Structure 1
């Protein structure tokens, strides 16, 4: 049992309240995010080949898990405070760690993290030209954290005793799981940001300009860092409370399940808004009869000539093409993913 000054029944009630607030945010962000992914800005449903189905499926999966987490939390509180009449009262019911509702809440956390970190690794893979050698370490960390997470779920389901998450057999696996999650998130976010800043610095060093300037990539970095920090801070808080055997870990872990889809979808929404704002600026510009952009693409030996004519550059591995840039329907438009080198969300 956790030696916490916060009783477990009080912690679970707080968890339900906090989770309800963040679930409301999930409903808003997912609804808007699905509109961005499935409809164009002029209100028309996108064709199938323009929809990024990986992002759509991930969004729906995360939303489903967040909804189940709310449902399981409500069920657990009803069982503890209304239906349970056994020894220990509500505290006794919450301490039944192998209760199917408690087990499913653990499954929800593991599954949500599994999907969220998989998308992070996928973004990193895409940013680095879909070359596996660059994401080997994140992929290994992701597999390791998944194994630790599901072992923790198995132990939780088979304990059949009164215990909390700080039960002796669980501690090593949960500790390893959270440590690997933090390492995975930090490394992948850092790799993506490094790649973007490196390309941005290469373009700036050659004195290249385009509509909107080079601040576009900086905005992408800010979106990634801000979203990554929100998720990382929530995991750090959960990890710290877990190590301190404080029952406040329950509300924090429940909120983290809701935060993962929020941060994931917010990247898509903010990228779409940024692209829309820049397109508006381009249309309002009167400097040229036709706006000219200079997006960055990695030089490819077998590049398709139909994708535009490269302008030679002395920057290693970089070409300038009159092509859609990375913030064009980022993560939503399938064509944008094909034509953009930094197709990260």
Structure 2
């Protein structure tokens, strides 16, 4: 391990600690939103346990990762320098395997949740998410293969054996995130564009633009982190240690922020039963004002078309 790696590990510990604090705050806000609505505790049968379990698992992975970083830094700076420079080289150390496994697990959960959200927004049209689902599964498989190769080849500097798996893993994760976020934004924008002429004035410019903004911000944060990690790993830059550890915390922050944004949605949002839609999915029903009384055929066609213009927000 070079001195640059030592400095990178120290910076990674500091950066991850700051992001872990943000992750912890957003996690508790997320749990509060999932357990209650408008300051009142939800009934046990209305709580979405899948989302709560997902939030707990992602926070547990983030906690494990920062614990491994802390333990590694202690061992690095307590051992003697000659031993430190030889023993802590390569990628086959147990903490490296655990850290990379945390990355694989966290990215898989984040991508799976994003794909599920896309599926819900597109009214459960499975063909829409087949591409992102395929890239997610293939990328996760590459990540598992990299962890398996790294854990079986116990010798220093075995980057050549695992690089053919890590680069596709990061690239496919990036493709999955970009494709899924684009599909979500396009769906919300398209529904809003078609429904705007039929909305009452109070609903124009309401929840749909906010949903697009939240999705865009979360997607940019996640995508940027994965892209920077891919570039730094491909070039062999030491900052890959920092970005790789920060990515785990960023995924948790993105997930918690999307869930927490539900509490800030107002206007024409109504809560659907949890047995039908995940996370008490919020449905925007576009209302129609028809000037004909009784409505003629054109008015009825407009009303029927507007009823179809509905989008489910996670």
The residue aligned with 2:116 is 122
Tell me if 1:38 matches 2:29. Answer: no
The residue aligned with 2:292 is none
Q: CA RMSD in A?
A: 2.5
Conservation of the 8 A alpha-carbon contact between 1:124 and 1:344: no
Conservation of the 8 A alpha-carbon contact between 1:106 and 1:153: yes
Conservation of the 8 A alpha-carbon contact between 2:121 and 2:187: yes
The residue aligned with 1:343 is 312
- Please, which of 148, 168, 172 is the counterpart of residue 180 of structure 1? 172
- Please, which of 237, 246, 249 is the counterpart of residue 246 of structure 1? 237
Tell me if 1:154 matches 2:148. Answer: yes
Task: Determine helix, strand or coil for the equivalent of 1:97.
Answer: coil
Task: Determine helix, strand or coil for the equivalent of 2:69.
Answer: helix
Conservation of the 8 A alpha-carbon contact between 1:126 and 1:343: yes
Conservation of the 8 A alpha-carbon contact between 1:196 and 1:342: yes
The residue aligned with 1:72 is 68
The residue aligned with 2:193 is 201
Task: Determine helix, strand or coil for the equivalent of 1:246.
Answer: coil
The residue aligned with 2:257 is 266
- Please, which of 289, 299, 319 is the counterpart of residue 307 of structure 2? 319
Give, in whole Å, the separation in 2 of the partners of 1:211 and 1:54. 34
Conservation of the 8 A alpha-carbon contact between 2:142 and 2:168: yes
Task: Determine helix, strand or coil for the equivalent of 2:307.
Answer: strand
**Where does the alignment leave 5 or more consecutive residues of structure 1 unmatched?**
280-292, 298-310, 322-340
Q: Deviations over 1:130-157 (max 9, x none)?
A: 1211111111111101100100111111
Conservation of the 8 A alpha-carbon contact between 1:80 and 1:93: no
The residue aligned with 1:285 is none
Task: Determine helix, strand or coil for the equivalent of 2:37.
Answer: coil
* Bigger fraction of residues in helix: 2
Q: Deviations over 1:180-207 (max 9, x none)?
A: 0110000000001111111101101x33
Give, in whole Å, the separation in 2 of the partners of 1:144 and 1:216. 35
In the superposition, relative to structure 1, how do residues 197 and 312 fare at CA in structure 2: closer, same or farther (>3 Å)? farther
Moved more, 191-200 or 210-219: 210-219
1:218 shift after superposition: 0.9
Task: Determine helix, strand or coil for the equivalent of 1:342.
Answer: strand
Give, in whole Å, the separation in 1 of the partners of 2:154 and 2:66. 24
In the superposition, relative to structure 1, how do residues 213 and 103 fare at CA in structure 2: closer, same or farther (>3 Å)? same
In the superposition, relative to structure 1, how do residues 72 and 200 fare at CA in structure 2: closer, same or farther (>3 Å)? same
Which runs of structure 2 are paired with 1:14-33 in the superposition (5 Å)?
14-33=11-30
**Where does the alignment leave 5 or more consecutive residues of structure 2 unmatched?**
269-282, 288-298
The residue aligned with 2:218 is 227
- Please, which of 88, 110, 123 is the counterpart of residue 94 of structure 1? 88
Conservation of the 8 A alpha-carbon contact between 1:199 and 1:296: no
Conservation of the 8 A alpha-carbon contact between 2:198 and 2:306: no
Q: Deviations over 1:232-290 (max 9, x none)?
A: 11111111111110111001110010000101111121231133xx48xxxxxxxxxxx
Tell me the matched-pair count. 290
The residue aligned with 1:326 is none
1:210 shift after superposition: 5.1
